Chains A and B, each alone.
Chain A
């Protein structure tokens, strides 16, 4: 029986294009200090650290976790780095949860930070994550791998560029209420639709920015929560899956999952939902923080999370189903389309979901939210995570 575990503190820096005033270590310290303040804890009360760091080459410091870890205090405590590409922050949260749930430690701090804007070569770096023998010289990168998903959604389900644009408009509208978001200016449908093509069918405003920033989350065992925490977001369910790195295996006649869909996320969600006792996600979940670096990926996710049938997500987005005042608010924070500090991006989804069920999400609070879901995705769309958080144990 796992130890009941809750998030008791969340700290986020503001996500901005550049943070020239701090090093990556100082950025880490900034988020950690905020999380400690939020949890009303001292650093000495933290038993272990999990550091989420995506590919080192994005910030150009090899094994940068060594720098971030020592910046959090040199007391002898276990420290572990997690890297699953875009999923990194969520995978770090998964590792942190398992630490506490195992009963081996009572508290853990999960921290992730990035300064992606310090190199203009992010897509080239992400190209180096492709198979060096068969695929790298075909110029694959993180944007066009999602374009392949979008064209399959358009072909199979009739997803339109207008429906995609509705995701961007809603995200940026929501970001206006989130002081941490990087891109807070609202955009119109016309602006999105007339923005230039980056990788057809994805246009500039279908794509996330590159951001700098850090996020920290403190998790604690039930006994610690009972002894002094009034704010707790209970981790009720967690699921994670992985699949092939070869996108082409999800397209040919021999495919078992389809690159148009996030069947892997549906599997991760099924595990998380079962553990959390969720049988009707639309009715039982009040808010979702979805890792969607592109508009098309959010559509695949709302379907995989069981909020609607496959192929319906685009139309329902257009009709307002996922708006703040709709039946299933998605990404009150503005989501990844409004801030993408890569290593920290998926952890920010967990942090935002926790704030929602704590009732501590400020101007972006979904009124009365009691259950929230947070997702992560990474690799060549091969890693998926799903976490269910609740206001009650």
Chain B
């Protein structure tokens, strides 16, 4: 209901935005995705200042604001830092239920998000227990790989 009640049915005009983009990922992410695609390995970048291994890798450490230098392989095992089980369907997003988790891959200083598969999600509380923070997961690589973040996902180790 509005402040001024409308007379009769509202008149609705349909609209649609459908915009195409070709995102250039830059040289740092290009190296990350090349390693992921060609060698099934996950790489981070070390900050020469604070020594943090940033995953996903960044050209600059945003904390020290210095250029990162060395590539460091991380994982494939890692630790769950946060998760959610999505039970609600959202237009344009995957069909539920599914799990998204942030995982610190071994050797990394920061956590990275990806899907977690292989957990029975029919009973939320039981599923949540299996995904408890601190539990171990392993990166599983797709075959073939396309150089996308979905070239890997996590499953319970």
Which of A253-261, A270-278, A301-309, A371-379 forms part of the interface with chain B? Answer: A253-261
On chain B, the residues within 8 Å of A256 by CB distance are 63
Flag whether B94 is at the interface (Cβ < 8 A).
yes
Number of chain B interface residues as a range: 35 or more
A18, closest chain B residue (CB): B10
Q: Is A121 touching B92 in the complex (CB atoms < 8 A)?
A: yes
A254 with B93, Cβ < 8 A, contacts A144-B86, A248-B102 known: no
On chain B, the residues within 8 Å of A316 by CB distance are none
Q: Is B10 touching A199 in the complex (CB atoms < 8 A)?
A: no
* Interface hub of B6, B23, B25, B102 (most chain A Cβ within 10 A): B102
Which of A74-82, A146-154, A328-336 forms part of the interface with chain B? Answer: A146-154
B84-100 at interface with A (beta carbon < 8 Å): 84-88, 90-94, 98, 100
Flag whether B17 is at the interface (Cβ < 8 A).
yes
Mostly, the A contact residues are loop
Question: Digit string of B76-118 for contact with A (CB within 8 Å is 1, else 0)?
Answer: 0000011111111011111000101010100011111111000
A152 with B3, Cβ < 8 A, contacts A139-B94, A253-B104 known: no
Flag whether B140 is at the interface (Cβ < 8 A).
no
CA distance A60 to B17 in the complex (A): 7
On chain B, the residues within 8 Å of A246 by CB distance are 56, 110
Q: Is B110 touching A138 in the complex (CB atoms < 8 A)?
A: no
* Interface hub of A57, A139, A140 (most chain B Cβ within 10 A): A139
A204, closest chain B residue (CB): B88
CA distance A133 to B134 in the complex (A): 27
On chain B, the residues within 8 Å of A123 by CB distance are 90-93
Q: Is B112 touching A134 in the complex (CB atoms < 8 A)?
A: yes
Q: Is B149 touching A251 in the complex (CB atoms < 8 A)?
A: no
Shortest Cβ distance from residue A192 to the other chain B in the assembled complex, whole angstroms: 15
On chain B, the residues within 8 Å of A152 by CB distance are 81-82, 133
Q: Which of A20, A57, A144 contacts B100 (CB 8 A)?
A: A144
On chain A, the residues within 8 Å of B53 by CB distance are 254
Interface residues of B (CB under 8 A from A): 1-6, 10-12, 15, 17, 21, 23, 25, 29, 50, 52-56, 62-63, 81-88, 90-94, 98, 100, 102, 104, 108-115, 124, 127-128, 132-134, 148-150
9 more A-B residue pairs beyond the given contacts A149-B82, A151-B83, A201-B84, with a C-beta to C-beta distance below 8 A? A16-B2, A21-B6, A138-B115, A155-B132, A155-B134, A200-B86, A248-B111, A249-B62, A259-B82
Interface residues of A (CB under 8 A from B): 13-14, 16, 18-22, 30, 57, 60, 120-121, 123-124, 127, 131-135, 137-141, 143-144, 147-149, 151-152, 155, 196-202, 244, 246-249, 251-256, 259
